[in-house]
Amino acid sequence: MIGYVLLAITIIFELIGITALKCSEGFTKLYPSVLSIISYLLCYFFLAKCLKYMDLCVTYSTWSAVGIVASALIGILFFSESLSKTGWVGVILLVVGVILINR
C-alpha cells in the first residue's frame, strides 16, 4: 500500500512538472521553469522510494501510463489541445493495460 501512495505522489509531481514545463515556454519564464525542475527532482526522489516497495515493471508502467493519460487530459482542459479518435483509443488501451499489469 505504501508503494502505491508513493507512486501517487510521484505522479502528482510529474504532472506538476510537465504542466509547469509547458507554461515555461521553453524555459523562458523563470517561475514555471524553477517549478518544473523542482517538481521533477521530487518526482524522481519519490519514484526511487516507491521502487523499494514495488516491482519495477508495475511501477514504471503505471507511472508512464497514468502520466500520459493525465497529461493528455491536462492539455485538453487547460491548454485547449485536442485528441483524435485514434488518440482516445490509445488512452483507453493505456488504462486497460495499467489495470491488467496491476492485477
pTM of the model: 0.90
51 grid coordinates: 521502487
DSSP state of 54: S
Residue 103's pLDDT band (cuts 50, 70, 90): confident
Give the number of C-alpha atoms closer than 13 A to the C-alpha of residue 20, restricted to the C-beta side: 17
Decide: helix, strand or coil at residue 11. helix
The percentage of the chain sitting over the pLDDT mark of 90, rounded to a whole number, equals 91
Classify 101 in phi/psi space as left (phi over 0), alpha (psi -120 to 50) or beta. alpha
Give 48-71 pLDDT, tens digit per residue: 999 999 999 999 999 999 999 999
Domain, as residue range, for 72: 2-101
Place of cell 526522489: 45
Length of the chain equals 103
User: Domain count of the chain?
Assistant: 1
